[in-house]
Amino acid sequence: MFASEVLDLAAEVLDAYRARGWHLATAESCTGGLLAAALTSIAGSSDVVERGFVTYSNEAKIEVLGVPPATIAAHGAVSAETATAMARGAIVRAPVEVAVSITGVAGPGGGSAEKPVGLVIVCLAGCDGVCRTQRHVFPGDRTEVREAALKVALGFLADTAKSQ
């Protein structure tokens, strides 16, 4: 189901988090659960992956993750502020050391001059309250944007474990 490059990155994340005794949660919008699926496609992932949230609609972001409606109203669903609120919401709702969120405009429609198709924002939140975001604009069609977001999120997770 996943390319070997994705599976290798997922295994790297799992090994690094396992070595540190860390657990993680995912909060996904435009990827629709791809990150959680990639991680859990590897046997033994249950000792690292605690849970995943797929919050595709604004209502789900608000109801499931506690994203403040004012954040979405002021900044939009695809913003660093919403990605941060998603990751913080996941970490509050799961007994984990790290939560990662992904929100974006996968296309083919829905883009604007300010938020073009291909825009993806990934946020990592730690249980210490520290959040880091990355903003990317990926070329390609819907599938390519979602795959690129998946790879970036896995890389961000792996880099975080290496830097701690």
Q: What is the pTM of this model?
A: 0.97
Helix axes 142-163, 4-20, angle to 10 degrees: 30
pLDDT computed for residue 164 by the predictor: 74
Backbone angles phi, psi at 55, to 5 degrees: -120, 80
- Name the pLDDT band for 121 (thresholds 50, 70, 90): very high
CB 67 within 8 A of CB 106: no
Amino acid at 35: L
Boundaries of every domain in the chain = 4-134
The neighbour count for residue 44, using CB atoms within 10 Å, is 12
Kindly state the average pLDDT of the residues 137-151.
98
Which of 64, 133, 69, 57 is closest to 94 using CA atoms? 64
Q: For 64-109, write each residue's pLDDT tens digit.
A: 999 999 999 999 999 999 999 999 999 999 999 999 999 999 999 9
Kindly state the average pLDDT of the residues 25-51.
98
Tell the CATH superfamily of the 4-134 domain: CinA-like (3.90.950.20)
Kindly state the average pLDDT of the residues 124-134.
95
Percent of the chain with pLDDT over 70: 100
- Please state whether 140 falls in left (phi above 0), alpha (psi between -120 and 50) or beta: left
